[in-house]
Structures are given as C-alpha cells and as structure tokens.
C-alpha cells in the first residue's frame, strides 16, 4: 500500500555542497539517502515530496560537514498481507515464478500458481496438467500477498498466491469473468421462464 509519511531525521551536508542553496543541498542528500531504499518501518521510499522544516546546523569537529535535523514528507510503499498486486512475471524456476509488482518483487510457489498439477516445461514455462494453462516470463498477472518477511530490509521476501478466484494471468481472469456472466445470464433466463 502506498503511503504519504512524515519523517524526521538528521541530514549530513558535505562541505562540497556549502555553496548550494541549503534547501537544495538537503533535498539532494535526502534523495540520495532515502529514494529507492528499503527501511524496515517505512518499506520502500519512492520519492521525497517536500521538506517541512530544517533545524539549526551543527558542525562536528574532525568531520567538516554540517548536520541538520530535518522534517520531510515521503511517498513510500509498504506491502501488506492480503493486498492485491498487479505485476509481470520476471523469471520462472522449477519451484515457482518471480513477479515484479513495482516497488518489490514477490515469489509465487509452484503450488500457488493455479488449481492444477503444475509442471515446469523445457521451454521455461509452468503448465497446468488438466487446464493446459501456462505461465511464462513477461505474462501480466494479479496476485495476493500472503507472506512478508522484512528481517533483512535489503532483501525482503514476499510470498504471493494466484489460486483464488480472479487471480492469475490476465487471460484466465477474463475467461473466468465470461463464464460467470454466462452462468448469470442462463440463471436469469431460467427465472424469467418460470415466472
């Protein structure tokens, strides 16, 4: 889920940036220190939106840089259990598929790809035995987050499932929707005849 969060921290402005306008120098440092990085409590920081307050600068002997206490607003993404995500299959292995859904990448275990016996083919695709459905690199999919581990913020682990209704490859969801519409139309016609 995307959030707009207020953050307070200390920014180190190196001497080479002393000629720059203070707000620009601090914003440059914040972008370098935060954007694109993952923090346990903030998730992945997408962007620095604005700087609300800059405190007095302090120079620490022996360093030469100035340190400022800063309050700023960020756009961040924190994955949540049961959240639906749309993404693209980036890689397929014998044990499952890796899905890139923007700020993060998740893994769908082979047992969670579809309601079928799934095998790994020589072409690098996952194929359902009865349904003949296939998943390959580049397919657009919808999945649900079922597990999150942020023990190491540099390499978060996110587990996904596609075994529920209206999840999986885009074509599967479209076919499921058409079946549902057909079923409802048939039931409506039957009810109309009985009246």
Domain ranges for the chain, please list them: 2-77, 84-184
State mean pLDDT over 12-26: 92
> What is the band of 159 on the pLDDT scale with cuts at 50, 70, 90?
very high
pLDDT attached to residue 191:
82
Question: Please, which residues have CB within 8 angstroms of residue 12's CB and are 6 or more apart in sequence?
Answer: 29, 65, 66, 67
In the predicted structure, residue 147 carries a pLDDT above the cut 80: yes
> What is the band of 81 on the pLDDT scale with cuts at 50, 70, 90?
very high
Q: What mean pLDDT, rounded, does the chain reach?
A: 91
CATH 3.30.1490.120 fits 2-77, yes or no: yes
Topology (CATH) of 84-184? OB fold (Dihydrolipoamide Acetyltransferase, E2P) (2.40.50)
Spell out a b/e string for 56-80, using b for 16 or more CB atoms within 10 Å of the CB, else e: eeeeeeeeebbbbebebebebbbbe
State mean pLDDT over 158-163: 94
- Give the predicted TM-score (pTM) of the model: 0.76
> What is the band of 151 on the pLDDT scale with cuts at 50, 70, 90?
confident
pLDDT tens column, 108-146 = 999 999 988 998 888 889 988 988 888 999 999 999 999
């Amino acid at each position: 889920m995307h959030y707009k969060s207020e953050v307070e921290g200390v920014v180190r402005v190196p001497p080479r940036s002393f000629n720059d306008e203070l707000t620009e120098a601090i914003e440059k440092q914040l972008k370098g220190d935060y954007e694109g990085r993952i923090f346990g409590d903030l998730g992945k920081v997408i962007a620095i939106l604005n700087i609300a307050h800059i405190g007095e600068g302090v120079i620490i002997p022996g360093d030469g840089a100035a340190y400022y206490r800063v309050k700023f607003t960020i756009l961040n993404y924190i994955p949540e259990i049961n959240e639906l995500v749309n993404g693209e299959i980036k890689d397929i292995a014998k044990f499952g598929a890796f899905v890139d859904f923007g700020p993060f990448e998740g893994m769908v275990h082979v047992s969670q790809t579809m309601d079928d016996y799934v095998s790994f083919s020589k072409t690098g695709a996952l194929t359902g035995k009865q349904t003949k459905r296939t998943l390959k690199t580049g397919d657009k999919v919808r999945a649900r987050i079922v597990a999150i581990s942020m023990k190491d913020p540099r390499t978060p682990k996110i587990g996904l499932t596609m075994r529920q209704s209206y999840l999986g490859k885009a074509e599967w969801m479209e076919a499921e929707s058409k079946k549902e519409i057909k079923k409802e139309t048939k039931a409506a016609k039957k009810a109309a005849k009985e009246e």
